[in-house]
Copies of this chain bind each other. A is one copy, B any other.
Amino acid sequence: MAAQLGSGLDLESLRELINVRLAQLVPEGHPKGPAAAARHSLLAPGKRLRAIITLIASRSHGGTIEDALDAACAIEMIHTSSLVFDDLPAMDDADLRRGVPTAHSEYGQDIAILAGIGLINGAYEIVAQAPSLEAERRIEILRIITRAVGWQGLVHGQALDLNSGENTASLDAIHEGKTGALFIAAAECGGVASGNCSDQDRRALRAYGRALGLAYQAFDDVLDQTACEATAGKTTGMDEGKSTAALGGRASIDGGTALANKHLDNAVRAVGKDKPLALLAEFIRGYFAKTIAA
């Protein structure tokens, strides 16, 4: 993933910045302990898309990358925590993630659970002490992220998805909870971190995050049907029997791609064509088209 997004931003540099900071934010700990398991999952090659959204959203509203870096890393830690939990045998029972064994495959379920707790807790700890933000901005970011994770966010989306077949949740409702909620939070937190974000700007960022999240999840479902593990870097074909698959199965691969492109159009419209966040959406469009073609 290397692309120019205007305003001197390029994806590769942003991702490197995030990776360096993430490695500072979780201690090494005992080699078989929860911190080591958390680092194993957190520092495995990830696209860092959510964190990158936060950084670009801050820059787009006159903030600095530094202002938003710890909030961005917190979002990424929350995301990794959700992967560690979702991959557990009691959930999706996956062996592979980001091209490496899942945390419980490598460290055992007990330590993986503690790693997941440590990551979610650590995310909030980092925002609570973010050096470049005053207390009000830290609190606002914490409110945004906790709402995204909570009873109406990630936790809710995963519960809907687990309850396959028996519920009437729409595919969009599941995706909005499982993926959209954190994309929305990522965009909005960047705006808040900038310190220059009106209520209208925040609404636009939420609309952008929502649309990008839905696009991302739609592409991911297409990939899950088509890709081999080597391409996806995670256990694939896992969604069989889950609500997303039951509902997604109706749509052809072409249909899924068209749906994703529609959501990307909405994302671009929310922030304005040629803006850095819009260029990011276009980059994602190209990246997935290339991956699906391969």
Interface size class of A (residues with CB under 8 A): 35 or more
Q: Which residues does chain B contribute within 8 Å of A138, judged by CB atoms?
A: 135, 139
A3-55 CB contacts (< 8 Å) to partner B? 26-27, 29-30, 32-35
* Copies of the protein in its oligomer: 2
Could you tell me the distance between the alpha carbons of A146 and B124 in the complex, rounded to whole angstroms? 7
| Contact A150-B109, Cβ < 8 Å, known A34-B155, A139-B135 | no
Question: In this assembly, does A120 line the interface, its C-beta being within 8 Å of a C-beta of chain B?
Answer: yes
A201 to chain B, nearest CB (A): 21
Q: Are B136 and A113 in contact (CB under 8 A)?
A: no
Q: Are B117 and A90 in contact (CB under 8 A)?
A: no
A126 to chain B, nearest CB (A): 9
| Contact A151-B120, Cβ < 8 Å, known A90-B110, A128-B139, A146-B125 | no
Could you tell me the distance between the alpha carbons of A139 and B142 in the complex, rounded to whole angstroms? 10
Question: In this assembly, does A147 line the interface, its C-beta being within 8 Å of a C-beta of chain B?
Answer: yes
Q: Which residues does chain B contribute within 8 Å of A150, judged by CB atoms?
A: 118, 121-122, 125
What mask results when residues 150 to 168 of chain A are scored 1 for a CB within 8 Å of chain B, else 0? 1100111011001100000
Question: In this assembly, does A88 line the interface, its C-beta being within 8 Å of a C-beta of chain B?
Answer: yes
CB closest residue in chain B, given A137? B135
Question: Which applies to chain A's interface (DSSP): helix, strand, loop or mixed?
Answer: helix
Q: Which residues does chain B contribute within 8 Å of A122, judged by CB atoms?
A: 146, 150-151
Question: In this assembly, does A258 line the interface, its C-beta being within 8 Å of a C-beta of chain B?
Answer: no
Q: Which residues does chain B contribute within 8 Å of A154, judged by CB atoms?
A: 117
Question: In this assembly, does A114 line the interface, its C-beta being within 8 Å of a C-beta of chain B?
Answer: yes
A219 to chain B, nearest CB (A): 25
Query: Which A-B residue pairs are the 9 nearest by beta carbons?
Result: A125-B146, A90-B109, A135-B135, A128-B142, A121-B149, A118-B155, A135-B139, A135-B136, A124-B124
Question: Can you list 12 A-B pairs with a CB-CB distance of less than 8 A?
Answer: A29-B151, A33-B156, A85-B113, A85-B114, A110-B162, A111-B162, A114-B159, A116-B117, A122-B150, A125-B143, A125-B147, A135-B138
